[in-house]
A and B are shown apart, each in its own frame.
Chain A
Amino acid sequence: MKQHSVFINGIGSISIQKEGTLTLPEWGEENYLRCIDPPFAQYISPALLRRMSKVVKRGIVGALLALQDGGMEIPDAIISGTGLGCIEDTEKFLSAMIEQNEQFLQPTHFIQSTHNTISSQIAIMLKCYNYNTTFSHLGISLESALFDGFLQIKMGMLSNALINGCDEMTPDYHLMLRKVGFWKRSPFQIEDMHKATTSGTVAGEGCNSILLSNEKNEHTYAEINDIQLIHHHEKNNIEEQIRLFLNRNELSLSEIDAVMMGTNGDIENDSVYDKLYFEGKDNPTQLIYRHLSGDYFTSSGFGLIQSARILKSQDIEPLLYRKESKKDKIQHILFHNHYKNSTHALILLSVCSN
């Protein structure tokens, strides 16, 4: 069977960063930042807007930006990944159930509270009746959505696919995770990202969209050569899995120009990457992004977008460096994200000369 190439032809992002900029945010006492929202009314009609929660609005605008960036109107597929779905509407609905003794429940919050609302609302906006799916696999949700689109394009079942990773961090959910020690107790410092000494990370939210296509054109950012999701890592040697993954793409770690890692300042999380890339004999340039996006279930989408930008522009924003190894050209980026060292996602991206 003929295998098609897969290219990233468009990107769109709603994040805690001001559009078009990349700066180190002031994390403050709470280590918690929310999105800088675009003017939604410029993209969505007021009649639709009033019923949408923040994450749906952000998902739609992120998707529209990616389509616009890639010069496309209707994609062959809309595939979303979300760890929490529309958690704000879920909270409203569940709170009302408790407060009002299971009576007088507002239908809108119920209708909008499901995880697949984001993908379906994008489809309604676009009048796109094609393949529409949502993956909800905690910290590997975005990668699962990407893998679905990647495989279907590779096999010729789709020509293109819009991939979205969306999550919001509501004050209530942030508080719950705080209670279980998920966030840093002390103010975040950039040193935490270079050598974590404490547990916990910083909280963010965002919607990141990527337009995949089997055609390379003037919009193309990078090629996605391969994706591998490794579940139940404890049964597999991850170092060996990475070696095999690169080998099947006729590469070795020493030939990888940069590794984009899901380092988040948590000592346990980051030690996984340190063992693989810092302590190993091959030490490619190490890139990090979660201090700029905050940590949330689909924050890897933010990192993926940065990787695509780097491959297109051949320019690395200094804030992304964890460790720099001088390279003349960034040819290959290995994107590596793990969730609790149980599930790993490996994505190989390459430069694409037009």
Chain B
Amino acid sequence: MKDLVLELKKEIIEVLNFEGMTPEDIDENAPLFGDGLGLDSIDALELIVLMEKKYGIKLADPNQGREIFASITTMAAYIKEHRTK
């Protein structure tokens, strides 16, 4: 799980182009949207693409996103359980 959290942080930094940011700068329990990392709706689309491309997870229900993308920890937990890649 720890490895997956680190991997996710690295992926998010690259995909969302957080130049100059390191995995240590991201709190895995902080909210991804709003106060924490401050992501927005376009970032949400990027994360959906990332989930499908990297882990083979297709999110069919948009309402699921709110829970899954709450933090990096919740994302990692969902990926661990549902990944096909």
Residues of A within 8 A of B (CB): 46-47, 49-51, 100, 103-108, 111
Please judge, given known A-B contacts A107-B42, A108-B42, whether A50 and B49 are in contact too, CB under 8 Å.
no
Please judge, given known A-B contacts A47-B38, A100-B53, whether A107 and B45 are in contact too, CB under 8 Å.
yes
Closest chain-A Cβ to B51's Cβ sits at a distance in Å of 10
A-B pairs, 4 with minimum CB distance = A104-B53, A50-B17, A107-B45, A104-B49
User: How far, in whole Å, are A227 and B16 apart by their CA atoms in the complex?
Assistant: 44
Task: List, in ascending order, chain B residues with CB within 8 A of A46's CB.
Answer: 19
Task: List, in ascending order, chain B residues with CB within 8 A of A47's CB.
Answer: 38
Give the A-B contact count at a CB cut-off of 8 A.
27
**A105 near B17 (CB under 8 angstroms)?**
no
**A50 near B18 (CB under 8 angstroms)?**
yes
Asked if B27 is at the interface of the complex by the 8 Å CB criterion, the answer is no
**A105 near B49 (CB under 8 angstroms)?**
yes
Residues of B within 8 A of A (CB): 15-19, 38, 42, 45-46, 49, 52-53
Main secondary structure of the interface of B (DSSP, over half): helix
Task: List, in ascending order, chain A residues with CB within 8 A of B52's CB.
Answer: 103-104
Please judge, given known A-B contacts A100-B53, A111-B42, whether A106 and B17 are in contact too, CB under 8 Å.
no
Nearest-neighbor residue (CB-CB) of B20 within chain A? A46
User: How far, in whole Å, are A1 and B20 apart by their CA atoms in the complex?
Assistant: 56
User: How far, in whole Å, are A95 and B83 apart by their CA atoms in the complex?
Assistant: 26
Nearest-neighbor residue (CB-CB) of A40 within chain B? B19
Please judge, given known A-B contacts A50-B17, A51-B17, whether A106 and B38 are in contact too, CB under 8 Å.
no
User: How far, in whole Å, are A6 and B18 apart by their CA atoms in the complex?
Assistant: 43
Contact check: which of B18, B19, B38, B46 meets A107 at CB < 8 Å? B46
